[in-house]
Amino acid sequence: MDKNKERNLSLLADFYEFTMANGYLMKNMENKVAYFDLFFRNIPDNGGFAICCGLESCISYLKNLSFTEEDVKYFKSKNIFSDKFIDFIRNFKLEADIWAVPEGSVVFPGEPLITVRAKCIEAQILETMLLLLINHQSLIATKASRIVRASKGRAVMEFGSRRAQGADAANFGARSAYIAGCIGSANTLADRDFKVPALGTMAHSWVQMFDSELEAFKAYAETFPDSTVLLVDTYDTLRSGVPNAIKTFDEVLKPMGIRPKGIRLDSGDIAYLSKQARKMLDDAGYEDVQITASSSLDEYKIMDLLMQGAKLDSFGVGERLITSKSSPVFGGVYKLVATEEDGKIENKIKISENVEKITTPGFKTFYRLYDKNTGKAEADLITFKDEKIDDSKDLEIFHPIHTWKRKTISNFTAREMMVKIFDKGNLVYKLPSLEEVKKYTESELDSMWEEVKRFEFPHQYIVDLSQSVWDEKTKMLNERNYKKKY
C-alpha cells in the first residue's frame, strides 16, 4: 500500500529547492546532471552504529511524485517563477537513477545511504523528503535497537504513539521499531497498514470504571480469556493488584482450563515489585505467568532493572523510544558530490572550517569486508562506483585522516552495500516484505562484533576511503589551498 498516494507531498520541500530549480532553468542548466549523496555525520547516543530505515517510504514518495494543477497555481501565485519553471512542474516526471543501502542495514557516518543521479533541477527537489524519511526512521530504528539489545532477549513492545510527534512519527516509528527488533506496537494503524503486530490489553481507566479492582479484572478475563494480561498497579500493587489478579486466574480462567498470560507493572519500584510479584505468582502455581514492565523505560533503565535482579519477562517502551528522547536528531545531510555533462563526470567538494563537514567527492559506493572465518564485519571501504574490490588478495586500508594507521585485511569477502533502486525513473528494486527486512536487520547485527555494540565507549568501527578516493579528495583540497586554521 502506497502511503504517500493518499496525499500530495510534492511541495514538502524547502522553498530554496524550487527557487534554485527555477534558476537552473533560467540559466539553461536544466540538462546538467548532478550526483547527490545522502549520509549522516554522527551516531545518535554516541553509539557504535546506526540502522538505516525508511527506504520503502522513499520509494513510495518517488513513485508518486508529481505536481497537481493546484501546485501549479500555487507557484504562479508567488510571482517569482518563470513560465519555463511552470511548464517543468506541470510536466514533471521522475527520470533519476538512484542507489541505496537496503533497509535495515547497519551503517556508519560518512557512508552514502542514498545516491541520486539526475538532472540538477530534479535532484535538487528530492532533498527534503529523502532526508525527512531517512532521518526520522533511521533515528527510531537505531534507538529501538539499543533498547532491544539492553533487554537481553526479553521481548520489547513499542508503546509510544500517544507521545509521538505527530501521526506519521507514530506510524512509521512503530514500523522502524519493529524492524529493529521490537515484537510489535500498541499502534493499531501500524498493524493494519504495515502488519506490525498490534499489542495491548487495558489501561488504568478500565480498572477505575468498575466498582472494584477484582470486578474489573474478572470482566476483562471473561472477555479475553485467551490473552489475559492484567494491569496490577492502579491502587496497590502488592496488597490488592497481584492478589486480585491471582484470584481472577483461580476463579475465572482455571475453571475454563486456560492459563493466564501475565500481569503488567507501570509504576513504583519496578525491580522490587517484580520480585515480590514473582514470588506471589509462583506460590500460587502461576510460574508461567509473565511480568511486563512499562513506565518511561529506555535502554539504561532496562539495564539497571536487570542488574538489580528484576523478575521481568518483557518491556513496553513508549516516549523514550518513539521520540529517541536522549538523542532526538539523526543529522543526515544531502550534498552535491559531482556533476556530469556530455558523459564526463566532474567531482565536487564542499570545504568547511569544521573538518567533519568537508565532503568526499565523486560518484561512490562502499563495500563491507567480512572475515571468512568468523563471518564478522571487519571494516567498510568507500570507493568510486567503478572500483572493484578483489577479495582474493590481501587488501591494505588506512585511516582517511591519520593515514599512518593502516591495516591489512586477509581472507575476507567483500559485499557492495548499495543497490540500484531506480533506473531512469523506473523502479528496478524488488521491495522485501517487512518480515524479510526484520530478518535482514537481525543478520546485520549478528555480523557486528560485540565491542561495536557497546552502549558506553563502543569500539570505533573502521570506515576508510579507497586510495583513489583519498587521492582525489586530497588533490581537490590542495588545489583550493585549503589549510586548517588553528
Residue 142 Cα to chain centre, angstroms: 5
Percent of the chain with pLDDT over 90: 93
Of 215, 216, 198, give the one whose Cα is nearest residue 207.
216
466 shares a domain with 390: yes
d(CA 119, CA 132): 21
344 shares a domain with 466: yes
The reply to whether 181 falls in a domain is no
pLDDT at 8: 83
The reply to whether 171 falls in a domain is no
293 shares a domain with 235: yes
215 shares a domain with 252: yes
The overall average pLDDT reported for the chain is 96
Q: What is the mean pLDDT of residues 200-225?
A: 97
Residue 369 has pLDDT above 80, yes or no: yes
For 276, the grid coordinates are 515480590
User: Is residue 132 within 8 Å of 153, Cβ to Cβ?
Assistant: no
Domain encompassing residue 253 = 201-309
Q: What is the mean pLDDT of residues 75-80?
A: 97
Q: What is the mean pLDDT of residues 165-170?
A: 97
pLDDT at 5: 47
Q: What share of the chain is helix, strand, coil (3-state, %, to 5)?
A: 40, 20, 40
Percent of the chain with pLDDT over 70: 98
398 shares a domain with 286: no
CATH code, 226: 3.20.20.70
Report the length, in residues, of the chain: 486
Specify the DSSP element, H or E, that contains 112: none
Q: Give Cα separations from 256 to 221, 263, 282, 303 (angstroms).
A: 11, 19, 20, 38
Residue 486 has pLDDT above 60, yes or no: no
263 shares a domain with 374: no
d(CA 172, CA 181): 14
CATH code, 391: 3.20.140.10
332 shares a domain with 277: no
470 shares a domain with 393: yes
pLDDT at 442: 98
Domain boundary among 245, 276, 309: 309
Contacts of 235 (CB under 8 A, 6+ apart): 207, 213, 241
pLDDT band at 243 (very low <50, low <70, confident <90, very high): very high
The reply to whether 463 falls in a domain is yes
pLDDT at 485: 53
447 shares a domain with 334: yes
Residue 101 has pLDDT above 70, yes or no: yes
The reply to whether 322 falls in a domain is no
Cα three-residue angle 238-244-245, rounded to 5 degrees: 90
- pLDDT tens, 317-353? 999 999 999 999 999 999 999 999 888 999 999 998 8
The reply to whether 456 falls in a domain is yes
For 447, the grid coordinates are 555480523
Instruction: Output the pTM of the full model.
Output: 0.96
Give 311-356 as a DSSP string: --SEEEE-HHHHT-TTS----EEEEEEEEEETTEEEE-----SSGG
Of 284, 433, 334, 350, give the one whose Cα is nearest residue 129.
334
301 shares a domain with 268: yes
Residue 4 has pLDDT above 70, yes or no: no
The reply to whether 246 falls in a domain is yes
Cα three-residue angle 394-364-379, rounded to 5 degrees: 40
Structural domains in the chain (count): 2
d(CA 440, CA 105): 8
Residue 44 has pLDDT above 90, yes or no: yes
Identity (one letter) of the amino acid at 103? E
The reply to whether 441 falls in a domain is yes
Of 287, 290, 312, give the one whose Cα is nearest residue 301.
312
Of 14, 11, 19, give the one whose Cα is nearest residue 128.
14
The reply to whether 185 falls in a domain is no
Domain boundary among 309, 340, 357: 309
469 shares a domain with 354: yes
Q: What is the mean pLDDT of residues 180-195?
A: 98
369 shares a domain with 283: no
Give the residue, 258 or 1, on which the prediction is more confident: 258
Angle between the 127-150 and 299-307 helix axes, to the nearest 10 degrees?
0
In the DSSP assignment, the letter for residue 198 is B
User: Is residue 478 within 8 Å of 470, Cβ to Cβ?
Assistant: no
Q: Which residue has the cell 519555463?
A: 84
pLDDT band at 424 (very low <50, low <70, confident <90, very high): very high
Of 188, 187, 182, 86, give the one whose Cα is nearest residue 141.
182
Cα three-residue angle 88-332-382, rounded to 5 degrees: 100
pLDDT at 7: 74
Domain boundary among 276, 309, 342: 309
pLDDT at 484: 52
